[in-house]
A = this chain, B = another copy of it.
Amino acid sequence: MATTLRTSEADFEERFARFLTTKREVSPDVDAIVRDIIAAVRERGDAALLDYTQKFDRADLGKTGLAVTRADIERAYQEADAATVEALTFARDRILAHHKRQRPADDRYTDSLGVELGSRWTAIEAVGLYVPGGTAAYPSSVLMNAMPAIVAGVPRLVMVVPPSGGTINPLVLVAADLVGVHEIYRVGGAQAVAALAYGTETIRPVAKIVGPGNAYVAAAKRQVFGTVGIDMIAGPSEVLVIADGANDPDWIAADLLAQAEHDSGAQSILITDDAAFADAVEAAVERQIRLLPRAETASASWRDFGAIILVGTLDEALPLADRIAAEHVELAFDGAEKFLQRLTNAGAVFLGRHTPEVIGDYVGGSNHVLPTARSARFSSGLSVLDFMKRTSILKVGPEQLRALAPAAIALAKAEGLDAHARSVAIRLNDG
């Protein structure tokens, strides 16, 4: 049974505030271990990667090599289910089409004083993409993380994936190939992050590392940050479904469970204005949960973090939704568009009764890497912009310099920076 909150109750604000700050993740402190791994990779290079892969993944890179070859990828296509490859290709094409629209425009203009200004976007020169091994190896995540980099024009996109127990999910290799990843290496964990950040004999360093991973990978990304860029550290997934009583309770229950099955730390929240509907959804959840192969995970998530919030009217849901700032928000009621216009904090919004969040996970075309743990208040889902950087441009001639100089010199002097003032003033004697 999930938690139930009612806005009509006197202690609602207190309970809701507590609900918002509930931690859903225990991060083990692996900083010291990770520090040692990074130091070893910096010192011993490929040899350290071989040792750690033997130890953690029980795989012998001496036999397979570190680099995944073209032949390995062809073999993956052979091993993969043809219908799934077709589905991946369909998803790839839709994700490509959407992300092409995110490419930023350069700007260059001359203002009224004759000063030329500009902003120019360029792709990051090399990006590393971490892909987890084992059961967490999701080919859809490879598409979602790699495609924005390719659309950005990143000339060198390097994927690392641990060969857990000696093998890599063939669909992960197929997904990487479908997007156009340039290099793939059989290595995971903190050692892979270290190799991407500092380079080894085989793996040249990159400038930014993205992609999900376990506590070791997250700690390693934090430690190499600065030397390279990193993306957000993702927490457990979450969905907020706002639904009126006109929905089919089974549909909404299915959506809540799709989130809950991800992880015992995942969170599914229903806000509704219909108490009978809430009961029906809760009953449907209990019914459906038993049918799931991942019933144990989904049950733990729903029991520990699931919530049903009963509101007087759906208007009351708006400030609550902004405070929850969920990764995924489904708006399953008439008037969803108007509600969306007033909603501020959400990673992604799914409109209407026929847009389950799962469509966005795979084939909607938008990115499924989205801000978790209330970070939609201040951050965005993964996009092409995450793989580019902006250089600002300034060009001033002698005449413009004379127009700008007095203010620049005044401010430099007010800030006690005489060499700044001098660098402008010295040019004023000219032409």
Q: Is A393 an interface residue (CB 8 A)?
A: yes
Contact partner of A362 (CB less than 8 A), chosen from B98, B380, B407, is B407
CA distance A86 to B414 in the complex (A): 12
A135 lies within 8 A of B411 (CB): no
Indicate how many identical chains form the complex.
Answer: 2
Chain B: minimal CB distance from A104 (Å): 8
A interface residues, how many (CB within 8 angstroms): 122
| Interface contact A298-B124, CB-CB below 8 Å | no
Q: Is the CB of B292 within 8 A of A359?
A: no
Residues of chain A in range 383-424 having any CB-CB distance to chain B below 8 Å: 383, 385, 389-398, 400-401, 404, 406-408, 410-412, 414-424
Q: Which of B102, B117, B344, B355 contacts A98 (CB 8 A)?
A: B117
User: Within 8 Å of chain B (Cβ to Cβ): is A236?
Assistant: no
A294/B418 contact (C-beta < 8 A), A84-B411, A340-B393, A394-B351 known: yes
| B residues near A45, Cβ cutoff 8 Å | none
Q: Which residues from 283 to 301 on chain A have a C-beta closer than 8 Å to any C-beta of chain B? A: 288, 292-294, 298
Of B140, B250, B346, B351, the residue contacting A395 (CB under 8 A) is: B351
With A376-B389, A426-B250 known as contacts, the answer to whether A91 contacts B394 (CB < 8 A) is no
Which one of A7-15, A273-281, A365-373 is at the interface? A365-373
A173 to chain B, nearest CB (A): 13
Q: Which residues of B contact A233 (CB under 8 A)?
A: 226
Contact of A401 with B91 at beta-carbon distance under 8 Å, contacts A362-B411, A394-B364, A423-B254 already known: no
A375 within 8 A of B: yes
Q: What sequence of 0s and 1s flags, for each residue 342-371 of chain A, a beta carbon within 8 Å of any chain B beta carbon?
A: 011111111111111111111111110011
What chain B residues lie within 8 Å of A221 (beta carbons)?
none
Whether A71 sits at the interface, judged by CB under 8 Å, is: no
A88 close to B (CB within 8 Å):
yes
Write the chain B residue with the least CB distance to A397.
B354
Closest residue on chain B to residue A403 by CB atoms: B363
Task: Determine the distance from Cα of A53 to Cα of B257 in the docked complex, in whole angstroms.
Answer: 50
**Neighbour of A392 across the interface among B293, B347, B410, CB < 8 A:** B347
A228 on the B face (CB < 8 A): yes
Partner among B90, B380, B427 whose Cβ is within 8 Å of the Cβ of A251: B427
A122 on the B face (CB < 8 A): yes
Chain B residues near A346 (CB-CB < 8 A)? 391
B139 touches A415 (CB 8 A): yes
> Complex formed: what's the CA distance from A392 to B382 in Å?
10
The reply to whether the CB of A379 lies closer than 8 angstroms to some CB of chain B is yes
Given A354-B427, A385-B385, A393-B348, residue A415 in contact with residue B366 (CB < 8 A): no
Does the CB pair A408–B358 fall under 8 Å?
yes
A255 located at the interface, meaning its Cβ lies under 8 Å from any Cβ of chain B in the complex: yes
30 contacts between A and B (CB under 8 A): A84-B410, A84-B414, A87-B407, A88-B411, A91-B411, A101-B107, A101-B109, A115-B364, A119-B383, A124-B378, A125-B345, A138-B415, A250-B426, A251-B423, A254-B426, A258-B419, A294-B416, A348-B393, A348-B394, A349-B393, A354-B400, A355-B395, A356-B423, A356-B424, A357-B423, A358-B421, A364-B396, A366-B393, A376-B389, A380-B391
